[in-house]
Amino acid sequence: MLRYTVRRLGQLVIVAVVLSILLFGWLRALPGGPVSALLGERATEESRAQLVEQLGLNQPLHVQYWKFVQRAVTGDFGVSTGVQPGTPAMEVFLQRMPATLELSVLALLLAVVVGVPLGYFAGRRQGGWLDNLSITWSLIGVAVPVFFLAFLLKYVFAIELGALPASGRQEVSIDATHATGFYVLDGMLTGEWDAAWNAFLHLLLPAAALSTIPFAVIFRITRASVLDVLEEDFVRTARSKGLGARVIRGRHVLRNAMLPVVTTIGLQTGALLSGAVLTEQVFNITGIGQALSLGFQRQDYAVLQVVILATAMVYVLVNLVVDLTYAAIDPRLRER
Amino acid sequence: MALLQVRDLSVRFVRKQEPTVSAVDGVSFDVQAGRTVGLVGESGCGKSVTSLAIMGLLPGRGTEVSGSVRLDGDELLRLPRRELDRRRGRDMSMVFQDPLTSLNPVVPIGVQISEVMERHRGMSRRVARGEAAKLLERVGIPDPGRRLKEYSHQLSGGMRQRALIAMALACEPRVLVADEPTTALDVTIQAQILNLLRELVAETGTALIMITHDLGVVAGTCDEVNVLYAGRIVESAERHELFAGPRHPYTAGLMASVPRLDTPRGNRLAPISGSVEDNIPWEDGCAFSPRCSRALPRCSERTPEIEPIEAGRWLRCHNPIEEHARNTERPHD
């Protein structure tokens, strides 16, 4: 198990190196560039040349890359030129990461907490009204674009009904201490429960919008998996032992049905991170999704590099955790 | 009264847009404590469905079960699910055909055995774990302490079946249903498992229902035998009586199709031609008649009833093999 983990972490390094090279090339192949983005179209040739010199963009690509790597291993990913000019890119990422993480975790939690039980009961009563309703709902969830749903939720619940906040992460009037940057967690740690609750309410609508696709996928996989497991001989064995419904459901059906679902959850982190870009725009959340779209608009190489690389690392790490969880559930995989 | 009394048990599978299938039709038999009763027949004759119906394990939707199954006088078929679950695993339990798929792959063997005792004998997890170790020892699994923590994929086929038997015996059931318990095992392991079951019946006085297609298993374990064909019992007798002289042409055919050591070399086996699936309906005459060498015109006109022919012996046939002519049906004798 340890050797497996080490090997997977080694793969992580390879992914990082290959992705950084591709990313470096891709970004610089985009038309425009940070200089035009910073100085605008009417800048003089001299000021342009000066900035190009300053940013080191006049050097050959491989020299630039090598310098980038040398600084990156010390944790220095350069300075933001567009998103928050003058701030180190790593700092931009670290400041914004908690908001996105908070949002994604809540969205994933919603998707799992609703999707798994619904999938189980829909599978148990295949063809029943709950089954049909949930299938329709999950189809709509996948089919409706995230940004449209986000606007719809915002319009109905925030603007028309006024039940939930329309944008931001927390009421500005609340003078909350932000120790970790995770606003809900901050409030809970410092005992500022009103601040935590307020931040949580701000998360609800964006998380609901963001959770629809992961929900739909998790629900469908759970349902199909439960249907398969219910047909298994060992479920019949469990019934023949007269076990209570709870033990049969938890120990015998769900535990086996969860195997494919766990894998799916790992893959859904990708959908969450890409969905966050749109959701953060709609709800004006200063997370990495927003940094990404701003970064592309303003051609902020440093921020884009650190955000995309870090996001990819998170994706790989989450899937490593998923695979380890898989082995924890299924003893047949432990002997590798 | 018998410990387990099955009367007129019928199971029909009703499917939309498909003809209803009558898998079991009017099956009746008794099982006394400490006795082993065999249900014998070829694939598709309804023997497994009978056992699942007794245990209440048939799928609810699309299945119609009628008749009566009484355990100690209590009607099981009309018991609410909760009541049934209080008795399944405790008063009656089942050993399944394929030990690999019948065990949960992600739950340790020990948990799968002790959960029955936690459920029915009110044991704590710790006590049940200790009992589970004793059970494993009793069914002949060495080093039970280690095996309890293992998973089914770490056990050999024979050990898995022993573990399933340990599970079924955990609450000392009064009726044990064994559905082809040795079919998935190789021959030497088969013999060990059959010996184990025989010993357990002798020690505990459990009534055993042995479902099998293998006449060798019947000969080695059963006290009484019910031969099923297309969902109905066609012949029922004490084991010795049956082997000494089968009266139903189907029983005789089954026996003739088993290879024997005293058969001269080069003689071909005598299989029964056709298969049971082709002949499900009993409405127009005997379902076996199309395959029967003794069929008379009335066999395909009027369905034979099951009738007692002597003490403990029942037969469903218009033209049974005469007692003095028994052995002429065996082509190689």
**Residue-wise pLDDT tens digits, A261-284:** 998 988 888 888 888 888 998 898
Residue contact A330–B105, C-beta within 8 A: yes
Q: Which CATH number fits domain B4-222: 3.40.50.720, 2.40.160.40, 3.40.50.300, 3.40.710.10?
A: 3.40.50.300
Beta bridge partners of B307: B315
**Residue indicated by tokens 């469990």:** A238
If one counts every other C-beta atom within 10 angstroms of the C-beta of residue B304, the result is 22
Share of chain B above pLDDT 90, in %: 48
Which of A240, A251, A259 faces B94 most closely, judged by CB atoms? A240
Task: Please check whether residue B176 is in contact with residue B92, taking contact to mean a CB–CB distance below 8 angstroms.
Answer: yes
Q: Which one of A233, A330, A331 has the shortest CB-CB distance to B102?
A: A233
Residue indicated by tokens 């070829």: B42
Interface touch B107/A251, C-beta < 8 Å: yes
Task: Tell me the nearest-neighbour CA distance from B85 into chain A, angstroms.
Answer: 4
B95 close to B185: Cβ distance less than 8 angstroms = no
Amino acid at A302: A
Closest CA of chain B from A116, distance in Å: 19
Distance from CA of A125 to the nearest CA of B (A): 10
Scanning A84-123 for CB atoms below 8 A from B yields none
State yes or no: ipTM above 0.85: yes
Between chain A and chain B, the number of residue pairs with CB atoms below 8 A apart is 82
Residues 6 or more apart from B134 whose CB is under 8 A from it?
B144
| Cβ-defined contact of A331 to B55 (cutoff 8 Å) | no
- The CATH number given to A93-333 is 1.10.3720.10
Q: Please give, rounded to a whole number of angstroms, the shortest distance from the CA of A242 to a CA of chain B.
A: 4
Predicted confidence band at B329 (pLDDT cuts at 50, 70, 90)?
very low
Residue given tokens 């199954």 in the structure block:
B69
pLDDT at A336: 53
Interface residue of A230, A234, A249 to substitute, partner B, most B CBs within 10 Å? A234
For B307, the enclosing helix (H) or strand (E) is strand B307-310
Q: What is the mean pLDDT of chain A?
A: 87
CA distance B245 to A254: 52
Record: contact A234-B103, CB cut-off 8 A: yes
Q: What is the mean pLDDT of residues A138-159?
A: 88
The residue-averaged pLDDT of A245-256 equals 91
Q: Give the DSSP H/E element, type plus range, for residue B175.
A: strand B175-179
Token pair 């139903």: residue: B248
* List of E strands, B184-266: 207-212, 224-229, 232-238
For residue B93, what pLDDT band results from cuts at 50, 70 and 90?
very high
- The sign of the dihedral angle between the CA atoms of A265, A270, A276, A279 is negative
Residue type for position A64: Q
Yes or no, beta carbons of B153 and A256 under 8 Å apart: no
**Short-list A257, A61, A240, A242, CA closest to B96:** A240
Strand pairing of B224-229 and B21-31? Answer: unpaired
Q: Does B178 touch chain A (CB under 8 A)?
A: no
Partners of residue A330 in chain B, C-beta under 8 Å: 105-106
* pLDDT tier, B101 (very low <50, low <70, confident <90, very high otherwise): very high
Helices (H), A30-145: 34-39, 45-55, 61-72, 89-124, 129-143
- Partners of residue B226 on adjacent β-strands: B39, B236
* DSSP tag of A158: I
Q: What pLDDT does B280 receive? A: 55
CB under 8 Å to A138, separation ≥6 — which residues? A215, A216, A219, A220
3-state secondary structure of A249: helix
Give tens-digit pLDDT for A183-236: 888 888 888 888 888 888 889 999 999 999 999 999 999 999 999 999 999 999
Please give the Cα distance from A117 to A97 (Å, whole number).
30
Round to whole Å and give the CA distance between B161 and B156. 9
Residue B276 pLDDT greater than 70, yes or no? no
pLDDT score, position B281: 66
Of A233, A238, A242, the CB nearest to B101: A233
Find, among A17, A49, A97, the residue nearest to A280 by Cα.
A97
Quickly count: other Cβ atoms within 10 Å of residue A152's Cβ: 13
Q: Chain A: nearest CA to B261, how far in angstroms?
A: 37
Dihedral of CA A8/A14/A19/A22: which sign? negative
Name the residue among A155, A244, A151, A157 with its Cα closest to residue A201. A157
Smallest Cα distance from A251 to chain B, Å: 8
User: How far, in Å, CA of A164 to CA of B40, rounded?
Assistant: 69
Q: Do B106 and A255 touch (CB under 8 A)?
A: yes
**B44 vs B124, which has greater pLDDT?**
B124
Check pLDDT > 70 for residue B110: yes
**Does A239 contact B88 at a Cβ distance shorter than 8 Å?**
yes
Interatomic CA distance for residues B176 and B36, integer angstroms: 9
Q: What are the backbone angles phi and psi of residue B9, rounded to the nearest 5°?
A: -70, 125
What are the pLDDT digits (tens) for A64-76? 899 888 888 888 8
Contact A299, A32 (CB under 8 A): yes
Nearest Cα residue to A240 out of A258, A250, A252, A229: A252
Residue A29 to chain B, least CA–CA distance (Å): 51
Domain ranges of chain B: 4-222, 229-262+269-329
**Which chain B residues are Cβ-neighbours of A131 within 8 angstroms?**
none
Is the pLDDT reported for residue B152 higher than 70?
Answer: yes
Q: Does A222 touch chain B (CB under 8 A)?
A: no
The closest CB to that of A240, out of B57, B86, B101, belongs to B57
Burial level of A108, CB count in 10 A (0-12/13-18/19+)? buried
CA–CA separation, A204 and A218 (whole Å): 19
Query: Is the distance from CB of B5 to CB of B30 less than 8 angstroms?
Result: yes
Mark yes or no for CB contact B102/A234 under 8 Å: yes
Looking at residue A335, its pLDDT comes to 67
Q: Cβ of B94 under 8 Å from any chain A Cβ?
A: yes
Give the A window 228-257 contacts with B, CB below 8 Å. Answer: 232-234, 236-244, 247, 251-252, 255-256
Domain with CATH 1.10.3720.10 in chain A: 93-333
